[in-house]
């Protein structure tokens, strides 16, 4: 703290003493001279990877934390939280597990398994930068879609064919897979091995699992198609095995 009556003198306050007793990592923003920077340094939102819309400094901090956890747990970073989830954290600024569960792509499972260290950083960042957090919660799901998701979860528990699930709700197989991906990305674990074992070659499944476990830098289906070859592996096969991988490793 600065004392206006003692110019030039800094004193340790309660927070400082607490830090000395129990040190923790502190992140700070690096000064940047924008006037001397060339135009190449300036990115518009549409040019930024993934269309990042949230606080850029916090986003970098959360990505660094995710990288550390990834190395410690020996799992790909995207299994912990995907970039859109980190970006939403930098918009919503969650500081409790309950608030974390409302973040795009984060459900109860992921929030409880990985959320706390991210919440700790966000809370400190919000306090130190005096950030006003959004007060209104945006409802992101549509009623009919939610009903379909409940039906899909119960049907998978009963090991019904994904094709039969699609027909019964007037959906395509791709629609059902879309729903399953959303459910899994929110942290709910689903077992679709019964469908994979019936419809996919076991060696193809092993190859795709190995790709996501050892080679993939992101969980992008398109990246997997480009790497594995669309002539050898269908997009549907890759999406199904990706779901299997995320459920077995990340949920």
Mean per-residue pLDDT for 191-219? 92
According to the model, what pLDDT value does residue 30 have? Answer: 54
pLDDT greater than 70 at residue 146: no
User: Highest-confidence range of 33-37, 139-143, 154-158, by mean pLDDT?
Assistant: 154-158
Mean per-residue pLDDT for 19-40? 57
Are 118 and 103 in contact by the 8 Å Cβ rule? The answer is no
According to the model, what pLDDT value does residue 110 have? Answer: 87
Count of helices and strands (H, E) across the chain: 13, 0
CATH class of 1-32+52-135: mainly alpha
Distance CA 85, CA 75 (A): 17
Name the CATH code of domain 143-250 (choices 3.40.50.150, 1.10.260.40, 1.10.10.1390, 1.10.1040.50). Answer: 1.10.10.1390
Eight-class DSSP state of 30? P
Q: Which residue has the higher pLDDT, 145 or 140?
A: 145
Q: Is 180 exposed, middle or buried (0-12, 13-18, 19+ CB in 10 A)?
A: buried
- The CATH 1.10.10.1390 domain(s) of the chain lie at 143-250
Integer-rounded Cα radius of gyration of the chain: 22
Eight-class DSSP state of 41? G
Which residues contact residue 89 at a Cβ distance below 8 angstroms, ignoring those fewer than 6 apart? 54, 58, 62, 81, 100, 103, 118, 122
Torsion of CA 192, 150, 180, 237, to 10 degrees: 40
Query: Using 50, 70 and 90 to split pLDDT, how confident is the model at 42?
Result: very low
Task: Please give the model's pTM, rounded to 2 decimal places.
Answer: 0.55
Mean per-residue pLDDT for 165-187? 87
Distance CA 249, CA 208 (A): 14
Neighbours of 243 (CB within 10 A): 21
- The CATH 1.10.150.80 domain(s) of the chain lie at 1-32+52-135
pLDDT greater than 60 at residue 176: yes
The pLDDT mean for the chain works out to 80
According to the model, what pLDDT value does residue 211 have? Answer: 92
Q: Which residue has the higher pLDDT, 144 or 225?
A: 225
pLDDT greater than 50 at residue 155: yes
Q: Which residue has the higher pLDDT, 22 or 154?
A: 154
Distance CA 66, CA 64 (A): 5
Are 246 and 216 in contact by the 8 Å Cβ rule? The answer is no
Distance CA 251, CA 106 (A): 11
Are 100 and 118 in contact by the 8 Å Cβ rule? The answer is yes
Mean per-residue pLDDT for 206-227? 90
């Amino acid at each position: 703290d600065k004392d206006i009556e003692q110019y030039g003198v800094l004193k340790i306050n309660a927070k400082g003493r607490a830090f000395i007793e129990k040190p923790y990592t502190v992140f700070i923003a690096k000064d940047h001279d924008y006037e001397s920077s060339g135009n190449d340094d300036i990115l518009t939102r549409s040019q930024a990877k993934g269309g990042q819309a949230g606080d850029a400094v916090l986003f970098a901090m959360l990505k660094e934390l995710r990288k550390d956890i990834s190395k410690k747990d020996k799992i790909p970073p995207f299994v912990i939280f995907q970039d859109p989830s980190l970006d939403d954290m930098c918009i919503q600024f969650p500081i409790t597990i309950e608030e974390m569960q409302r973040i795009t792509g984060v459900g109860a499972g992921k929030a409880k398994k990985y959320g706390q260290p991210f919440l700790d950083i966000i809370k400190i960042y919000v306090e130190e930068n005096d950030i006003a957090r959004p007060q209104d919660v945006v409802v992101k799901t549509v009623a009919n879609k939610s009903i379909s998701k409940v039906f899909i979860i119960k049907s998978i528990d009963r090991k019904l064919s994904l094709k039969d699930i699609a027909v019964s709700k007037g959906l395509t197989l791709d629609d059902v897979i879309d729903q399953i991906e959303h459910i899994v990305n929110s942290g709910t674990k689903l077992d679709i091995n019964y469908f994979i074992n019936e419809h996919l070659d076991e060696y193809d499944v092993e190859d795709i699992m190995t790709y996501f476990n050892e080679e993939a830098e992101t969980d992008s289906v398109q990246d997997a198609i480009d790497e594995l070859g669309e002539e050898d592996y269908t997009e549907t096969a890759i999406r199904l095995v990706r779901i299997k991988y995320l459920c077995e490793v990340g949920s």
